[in-house]
Amino acid sequence: MWSAQDVARDQVRRQADGLDVAAVSEKVAEAAVRERETAERLRGNGSFYAFDMGRERLAVIWLARHAEWRRVRDLMTAVGWGVYEPELDAQGSVWAREREERSSSALTAQAALGERRGEEADELRAEVWLSAASSRLVRTVSGRTGLRPSEVLDQLVERIVVSEDGTVSVPPFTPSL
């Protein structure tokens, strides 16, 4: 759901909270080493981390983390912050809000899909073969009301009542548009 940049920005934002410029500079150096190592391993066949993550994805994430650590360091230096405070980082805050909105939208869409699937599981689709006499009755009602025969049957089915002893009946009603 999140891009490598989203992952990097989120991790750096959380990890940098309260760090001073020297600590952030150390993180920049560490990220540079990790970026170089993953790029080298991506090009070669050497052993890789025991992560269940593709080599390409890991290399891109370290590239993005290195860039984000540099951005935080440069921001702190330019503004003169003693320590990094995520709430004061305007660009980082915008990105964090965008990530949260995308995440919320994705979760809402996932919930809606689950609800639709649940409703579909409750639906019953059936093909009904009526006797000639029943068919004539449905067609007659259909002709009088202007409904299609299937719409008359839909209204009939919606009004089914099951009693305690299991008998099924439909109270009298007039089909309508």
First-to-final CA distance of the chain: 45
Per-residue pLDDT of the chain (177 residues; tens, 9 = 90+): 678 898 899 999 999 999 999 999 999 999 999 999 888 887 775 555 545 457 788 889 999 999 999 999 999 999 999 999 999 999 999 999 998 898 888 889 888 888 888 777 777 778 888 899 999 999 999 999 999 999 999 999 999 999 999 999 999 999 988
Cβ 148 vs Cβ 142: under 8 Å: yes
CA distance 115 to 110: 9
* Boundaries of every domain in the chain: 4-122, 132-169
Q: Are 128 and 153 in contact (CB under 8 A)?
A: yes
Q: Please name the residues in contact with 168: beta carbons below 8 A apart, sequence gap of 6 or more.
A: 160, 161, 162
Q: Is the pTM of this model over 0.75?
A: no
Q: What is the pLDDT of residues 22-41, one digit of tens each?
A: 999 999 999 999 999 888 88
Burial 101-121 (b: 16+ CB within 10 A, else e): eeeeeeeeeeeeeeeeeeeee
Structure letter (DSSP) for residue 168: E
- 10-22 pLDDT, tens digit per residue, is 999 999 999 999 9
